[in-house]
């Protein structure tokens, strides 16, 4: 099934999405997971990929086996971090395989990874925060970033593109981006202080483009639009950016959501690896 440039894959109960533009290059394995197809139970049901959420470790590792197996890879290649809503981008490689999953995390404050090494499976996790995957098919470089609202106001998506340019000589015009399922403008309701942070960070974009006043002290912010504009501001052409447009809060059957369920929930992942 295809929607908004994303392809929905369903195999034996497992469901995940890929970006058609990435698939076409034949250069990467990648996905945006849903909660379907894993072995976790209760509030973690079923494909929980969050490692420190109180779920049974064996089940989480089995879930990693399931999704990495479906991609034709293995969980030994996964590189995770301790995500802290920072704007820090780390360059990693195959020597970091297993970080944060099969061995202790060595990256403090890492919310984005870049690499040009094959077999380094960049993995970010979330439950409402915006996942963004990057692929430069010319320089054969990839990145993954976790851009919740705090990451968005720190412009982490733009900083990820910048780092790819600095480290690998990527041209932003060549970079493909995919924004995965996350909290939509329908559900991301905020108060005035958050609005002020966005207005300060997005000095290049009129607030009316992505912030809607919904009454009283309440506003709704479109993080998909905000992140798309950040990527465009970094030089990525609009036509290179795929946006899932699926809201994790609205769709309980498919997604974990922090805003909907609080701490008692699993985590989704976005994964990308050069073949």
Smallest separation (angstroms) from Zn ion to the CB of 249: 4
Q: Within 13 Å, how many C-alpha atoms sit on residue 30's CB side?
A: 33
* Closest to Zn ion by CB, 65 or 222: 222
* Closest to Zn ion by CB, 80 or 226: 226
What number of chain residues touch Zn ion (CB under 5 A)? 6
* Closest to Zn ion by CB, 117 or 261: 261
How is residue 78 written in tokens?
A: 């996964």
Residue in the block written with tokens 């879930």: 63
Closest to 132 in 3D by CA, of 147, 119, 120, 122 = 147
Tell me phi and psi for residue 204, to 5 degrees. -100, 5
Q: Per-residue x/- mask for Zn ion, residues 138 to 177, rule CB under 5 A?
A: ----------------------------------------
Q: Judged by CB under 5 A, does residue 181 bind Zn ion?
A: no
Smallest separation (angstroms) from Zn ion to the CB of 22: 25
Closest to 203 in 3D by CA, of 241, 155, 157, 146 = 155
**Which one of 134-142, 155-163, 183-191, 197-205 is the stretch in contact with Zn ion (CB under 5 A)?**
183-191
Smallest separation (angstroms) from Zn ion to the CB of 181: 10
Give residues 210-269 in contact with Zn ion (rule: CB under 5 A): 247, 249-250
d(CA 131, CA 182): 7
Pick one of 162, 187, 190, 194: the residue that binds Zn ion (CB under 5 A).
187
* Closest to Zn ion by CB, 131 or 184: 184
Give yes or no for a contact between 7 and 17, defined as CB atoms under 8 angstroms apart: yes
Q: Judged by CB under 5 A, does residue 184 bind Zn ion?
A: yes
How far, in Å, are 41, 107, 213 from residue 192 at the CA level? 38, 33, 10
DSSP 99: B
Give yes or no for a contact between 22 and 178, defined as CB atoms under 8 angstroms apart: yes
* Closest to Zn ion by CB, 181 or 184: 184
Binding site for Zn ion (CB under 5 A): 184, 186-187, 247, 249-250
């Amino acid at each position: 099934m295809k929607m908004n440039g994303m392809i929905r894959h369903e195999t034996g109960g497992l469901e995940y999405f890929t970006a058609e533009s990435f698939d076409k290059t034949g250069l990467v394995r990648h996905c945006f997971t849903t909660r379907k197809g894993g072995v976790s139970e209760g509030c973690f049901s079923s494909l929980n990929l969050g490692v420190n959420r109180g779920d049974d470790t064996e089940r989480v590792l089995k879930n990693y086996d399931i999704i990495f197996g479906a991609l034709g890879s293995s969980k030994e290649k996964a590189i995770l971090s301790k995500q802290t809503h920072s704007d820090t981008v780390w360059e990693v490689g195959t020597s970091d395989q297993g970080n944060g999953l099969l061995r202790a995390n060595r990256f403090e404050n890492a919310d984005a990874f870049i690499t040009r090494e094959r077999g380094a499976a960049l993995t970010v996790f979330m439950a409402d925060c915006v996942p963004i995957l990057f692929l430069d098919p010319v320089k054969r470089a990839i990145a993954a970033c976790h851009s919740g609202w705090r990451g968005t106001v720190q412009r982490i998506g733009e900083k990820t593109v910048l780092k790819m340019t600095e480290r690998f000589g990527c041209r932003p015009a060549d970079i493909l981006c995919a924004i995965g399922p996350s909290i939509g403008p329908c559900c991301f309701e905020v108060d005035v202080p958050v609005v002020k942070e966005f207005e300060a960070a997005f000095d290049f974009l009129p607030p009316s483009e992505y912030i809607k006043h919904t009454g009283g002290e309440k506003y709704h912010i479109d993080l998909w639009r905000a992140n798309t504009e950040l990527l465009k501001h970094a030089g990525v052409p609009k036509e290179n950016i795929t946006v899932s447009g699926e809201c994790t809060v609205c769709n309980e059957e498919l997604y974990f959501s922090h805003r909907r369920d609080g701490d008692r929930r699993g985590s989704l992942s976005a994964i990308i690896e050069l073949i």
